Amino acid sequence: MTEPTNADGDTTGPLPPAGGPAPGRRTPPAVLADLRAVDGALYAAVAATPTPALDHGLRRLSRAADHSKISLAVAAVLATGGPRPRRAALAGAGAIAVASASANLLGKRLVRRHRPDREAARVTVDRCVPMPASASFPSGHTASAVAFATAVGVLLPETAVPLAVLAGAVGYARVHTGVHYPGDVAAGAVLGIASATAALAVAAGPPWRRGVSRRP
């Protein structure tokens, strides 16, 4: 069987299969597989990095963030500070509710990603918290923490930086303790921002109550 030739009679090499992807292009499943490989490599790198000075504190932070206890405690303190902080606290609590429902009732049930294998990654016992029974994607802890930080930070700009740092620490703690892949945390952060946006829109009320004229 001869190879195809061009007009000058030179061989051009084998033709790509009919209907197949062009050379150099990756199909969506292949790209997704690559992203999962990177995600797994990042998880393994965190697990393999000795951090004895951080392990205990991040484990406690991860446990304290269960059921958004840290964020709700901050909201309770803000609620005693006057009208503006109280409004921010309510918006933050609403954002947590939206994020939690979106992560647990939609995201985890739709994707159903398995939790990481901590034993295979050799995550040290000093880091470990109970492995949740729910699906891994997205991180509900991160979604709720980011939702609260975003909603409160918009209404109380002076709290934006410390709450963002706290939310970031909660997200990293979930990877550090071995219960989430970094991709789960990234997805949770995106979901948290979207949930805060929705909660702030509801808190602001309809456009005509905000003094914004509607176009016909």
**Domain segments of the chain as ranges:** 53-204
* Tens-digit pLDDT profile for residues 44-61: 999 999 999 999 999 999
Rounded to two decimals, what is the model's pTM?
0.84
> Among 148, 152, 154, 151, which residue's Cα sits nearest to residue 168?
148
Q: Is the model's pLDDT at 205 over the cut of 50?
A: yes
Q: What is the mean pLDDT of residues 78-87?
A: 95
The pLDDT confidence band at residue 213, using thresholds 50, 70 and 90, is: very low
Q: Is the model's pLDDT at 2 over the cut of 80?
A: no
Least confident of 8-17, 20-29, 54-63, 107-116: 8-17
Q: Is the model's pLDDT at 30 over the cut of 70?
A: yes
Buried-state track 42-56, b at ≥16 Cβ within 10 A, e below 16: ebbebbeeeeeebbe
Q: Report how far apart, in Å, the C-alpha atoms of 63 and of each of 22, 60, 82, 131, 209 are.
A: 49, 5, 30, 11, 41
Residue 111 has a CB neighbour count (10 Å cut-off) of 13
Q: What is the mean pLDDT of residues 200-206?
A: 86
CA distance 171 to 163: 12
Predicted pLDDT of residue 206: 72
Residue 1 has a CB neighbour count (10 Å cut-off) of 3
Q: Is the model's pLDDT at 188 over the cut of 90?
A: yes
Q: Is the model's pLDDT at 99 over the cut of 90?
A: yes
> Among 67, 52, 43, 185, which residue's Cα sits nearest to residue 116?
43
